[in-house]
Amino acid sequence: MTIASRAASANDYVRQHSAHPLISRQKAADIARAAVRLAGLLGIDPVNVRPDRSWNYLSLPLAPLTLHASDPDDPQQVYTFSCRDPWYDDEPFFLLGPCPVCGAEVPLAEIRSLADVGAFLTHGPEPLPEHSAPPCSYPDAFDRHPAHTSQCPYYDGDS
C-alpha cells in the first residue's frame, strides 16, 4: 500500500467516524484520530482499531480512551490500549492487561513505538515485589490505577 493510499484511508476513517449520537462531532473526530494514530504506530489499517463504544452521557469526557486493536493476520488476537486524552497527539498509549496481583485490566506498558510493544511481548511484565513500588518497567499509570480491585496493594480507594 502506498503512502498516499494509506493517508487517504486514514483521512476517510476520520471523516466516517466523526459522528456519534452521544458525543460532539469534535470529540468523535478526536477519538477517530487517536484510532488512526494507534493504527499507524502498529502498522495496521485503521479498520483493525476499534474504540470502546460503551459510552454514555454520564461518562463524558472520554478520558482515558480505550482502543482495541486486532491483528490483521489473526483477528482473534486483540490488544487493548488506552490513552489519557485523545486530543493530544503526543500522549503515549498504554497497553492494558491483567494486573499480576489482582487480575484487573490495568496499564502494563507505556507505548510510544512499535518497539515498545515488541519489548513487552518479548519480556512481559516483570514480577511485582511484595510491599513496595512496582519496577520502573511499569508505567506510572499502573500504580494506583482505579481498575485494581480493593484487595490489591496497588488499589487506591481515593481515586
pLDDT tens digits in sequence order for the chain, 159 residues long: 788 988 888 999 898 888 877 778 888 888 899 999 999 999 999 999 999 876 554 454 556 889 999 999 999 999 999 998 777 788 899 999 999 999 999 999 999 999 999 999 999 888 888 778 899 889 999 987 889 999 998 887 665
Question: Model-level pTM?
Answer: 0.86
Q: Which long-range contacts (CB under 8 A, 24 or more apart) does 37-41 make?
A: 37/89, 38/67, 38/69, 38/81, 38/83, 38/93, 39/10, 39/69, 40/10, 41/93, 41/111, 41/112, 41/113, 41/114
d(CA 134, CA 136): 6
